[in-house]
Amino acid sequence: MIGLIPSVYAHCPICTAAVGAAAVSAKYYGLDMSIIGLLIGAFGISTGLWVGLKVNKGYFKFQLPAIVAASFFLTVIPLLYISNDAIYFPLLFFGSSGSVLNKVYWIDKLLFGSIIGGLATLFAYLTHIYVKKQNGRVLFPFQGVAVTLFFLAVSGLILYFNFSA
């Protein structure tokens, strides 16, 4: 009886759960808040895509982008209170870059990482769709997951080397 059930490649819930687990693990291992934000932003976008693509009927114009944006904001905004780290962007008008006078523009590290993670996930999704349309099929199993993980790994390395330590 079990042999009659067709195999399913449901990578969206698995990928979403994996990104959520990675965010918790990153916090546990003491990684920078921007990298945790990267994973939280990716989690919000991937959850929104997963839910938005499951809704078969279009109830209003721009339904998928609205669901994705709502998922992102409803994931990221409540978590902004777990961090008080900030990234400062100096103006370099007076003194050295470490001077208090030059620390004018700032953004929360978790929010900055979440924006980068969200954009990386959206770009990975659009890249996956583009490759799928160009070839008429996916090139290998779990292509969407692999492309997403690649973009997140590259983004994470850039954040790690720029903002850690």
pLDDT of amino acid 152: 92
Under DSSP, is residue 165 helix (H, G, I), strand (E, B) or coil? coil
pLDDT of amino acid 30: 76
Under DSSP, is residue 108 helix (H, G, I), strand (E, B) or coil? strand
**Integer-rounded Cα radius of gyration of the chain:** 19
Main-chain phi, psi angles of 125, to 5 degrees: -65, -45
pLDDT of amino acid 5: 47
Distances (CA, A) of 128 to 65, 97, 116, 146: 17, 40, 18, 9
pLDDT of amino acid 11: 46
Each residue's pLDDT, cut to its tens digit, for the chain (165 residues) gives: 455 544 444 445 666 666 667 777 777 777 788 888 998 999 899 999 988 888 888 888 999 999 999 999 999 998 888 777 777 666 665 555 555 555 566 788 889 999 999 999 999 999 999 998 998 888 888 888 889 889 999 999 998 888 765
pLDDT of amino acid 95: 55
Evaluate the CA torsion angle 78, 112, 22, 8 in order and state its sign. Answer: positive
Nearest partner of 12 among 41, 39, 40, 52, judged by Cα: 52
pLDDT of amino acid 10: 42
Report yes or no: 94 and 101 within 8 Å, Cβ to Cβ.
yes
Nearest partner of 75 among 42, 106, 108, 52, judged by Cα: 42
